[in-house]
């Protein structure tokens, strides 16, 4: 895979992973339950986040962590990391083109 394409896919993969963990509920509410377990929830319509829950509910904060993972995949290419970047990168591009969304959609 060309290096420039790898980095573009890495950027979109980072975007998608951060959105997935911070905003999406996930299959079987897995990510919503993870955020709740970490200390992020809602009480009487007010969003309450503490500790790790603050990190897991912020796509910008998660973006930094996910950037480390995606950068490692870009810096040390391998067939497996190229497949991972391609799948997550295409999903990230689709999510980016679809536009912003709110939690629970």
Rounded to whole angstroms, how far apart are CA atoms 93 and 16?
Answer: 8
**pLDDT digits over 74-95, tens only?**
999 999 999 999 999 999 999 9
Q: How many Å apart are CA 34 and CA 45, to the nearest integer?
A: 19
Model confidence at 97, pLDDT cuts 50, 70, 90, reads very high
Q: With cut-offs at 50, 70 and 90, classify the pLDDT of residue 56.
A: confident
CA separation for the pair 52, 65 (Å, rounded): 13
Evaluate if residue 64 carries a pLDDT over 80.
Answer: yes
DSSP 54-68: HHHT-HHHHHHHHHH
The SS3 of residue 47 is strand
Q: How many CB atoms lie within 10 A of CB 48?
A: 11
């Amino acid at each position: 895979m060309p290096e420039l394409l790898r980095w573009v896919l890495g950027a979109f993969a980072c975007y998608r992973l951060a959105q997935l963990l911070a905003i999406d509920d996930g299959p079987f509410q897995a990510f919503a339950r993870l955020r709740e377990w970490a200390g992020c929830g809602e009480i009487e319509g007010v969003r309450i986040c503490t500790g790790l829950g603050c990190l897991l509910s912020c796509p910008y904060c998660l973006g930094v962590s996910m950037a480390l993972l995606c950068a490692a995949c870009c810096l040390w290419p391998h067939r497996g990391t190229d497949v991972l970047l391609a799948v997550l990168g295409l999903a990230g591009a689709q999510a980016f083109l679809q536009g912003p969304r709110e939690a629970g959609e």
